[in-house]
Amino acid sequence: MMAWEWYHPVKVYFGENFFYKLKDLSLDKPVAVITGKKNVKERGIVGRLEELIGNDFTLLDFVEGEPTWEVIEKLRDRLSEEGVKTVISIGGGSVLDSAKLAALLVTNKGVKIREIIGVRDFKFENSPLRVIAVPTTSGSGSEVTPYSIVIDRENLKKASIGSLYLYPFIAIDDPTLTYDTPFEITRNSGIDAFCHSLEVFFMKEIHPIASNFALNGILLFIKFFMNALNNDRIARAKMMLSSLYGGYAISNVGAGLIHQFAHALGVLRGYPHGFAIAIYVVPVLSWYAGYKEGLERIKLLEDNLGIKGLIMYLRKLFGDIGIPDVGKIGLGEKEIELMVSIVERRKTYFDKFVVTPKRDDLYRIALGGFEASL
């Protein structure tokens, strides 16, 4: 019998209008609110927050679409200057990731972000400021994970920093915050959520708790994703649940090879994370299908999902919503070399995958050379 362990410390509030739970929470002051540059403010969410907790907080609304180390350092410095005790992060995955890491760096002075990008379990000495994570997209699951993605464009790095201290204190998942999210953000974030759940099944050992969350997350994606794109409110609520399940799923096992290629493509091209993921789902699954162990996992998913030809199903689904094949994005020879090099830096992760890729495999996957045949 396999041995396993599970740890999860985040208190989660899930439900429509649970954003108002903020009014009932005891917030140690001073409080800082971390958001993106315009989306949350334009949608009136900051105004709603003021109705709940007043306007006695520092608003840090300069997080970009991707979590760069420069912005995270700026957040750290501002939190420190203001003597902040509680951080409320409201936004997509980049906002949540940036806020979690900045809140931890405040209490661990001297840690250099750029030196620990990609470290699975960095040993921070001190616990972070309290973070309340409020996602406004259904994708990253960052409100329940111990990871923060960081980009260092100069050194072509995009990878997670992992630490149990990166779990937020509280997560508030309110589907109403996603109801007016634009099509492309809904599409890209939804595919990210799906991939978190999907990759759990391509780890060497299938974790019994993670896989249960993951399977339910995938089922919700298949049933509700397309309706969510059409702004169906019930479907959007279900996609937030799918995202939460995906976050739970990767919280104890991590992400897989698709994510490694997406991070590389993201840092090279600046593509949104979920968009980059969608481009590499089919090539990576097709590569897995060439090995007995990988094919068994695909068949396992097909049996549990009631889908024959999972790879072709996903290729059609993604094509129908505007996701191009790898061959259509015009990667040059130098970009392919860089991509393989970036993915190879993640070799310490490869030992977790059900099949370990070789360098030649990485090249063919990067080119989209493994064609779906199922």
Residue 40's pLDDT is: 79
Say which CATH topology domain 182-366 has.
Answer: Dehydroquinate synthase-like, alpha domain (1.20.1090)
Start-to-end CA span in the chain (Å):
32
Which ranges in the chain are annotated with CATH 1.20.1090.10?
Answer: 182-366
pLDDT < 50 stretches in the chain: 372-374
Say which CATH topology domain 11-177 has.
Answer: Rossmann fold (3.40.50)
Which ranges in the chain are annotated with CATH 3.40.50.1970?
Answer: 11-177
Residue 1's pLDDT is: 60
- For CA atoms 289, 292, 294, 299, give the dihedral sign: positive
Residue 372's pLDDT is: 40
Q: Which amino acid is at 131?
A: V
Q: Which residues pair with 149 in a beta bridge?
A: 160
Residue 65's pLDDT is: 86
Contact of 365 with 357, CB cutoff 8 Å: yes
Q: Structure pTM?
A: 0.95
Residue 44's pLDDT is: 87
Distance, C-alpha 103 to centroid of its chain: 18
Considering only CA atoms, which of 319, 299, 367 is closest in space to residue 339? 367
Average pLDDT over all residues of the chain: 94
Query: Which 3-state string (H, E, C) describes 55-74?
Result: CCCEEEEEECCCCEHHHHHH
Residue 254's pLDDT is: 93
Tens of pLDDT, residues 191-227:
999 999 999 999 999 999 999 999 999 999 999 999 9
Q: In which element (H, E) is residue 140 found?
A: none
Residue 299's pLDDT is: 97
Residue 370's pLDDT is: 63
Using CA atoms, how far residue 29 sits from 11, 26, 88, 100, 152, in Å, is 20, 9, 11, 17, 32
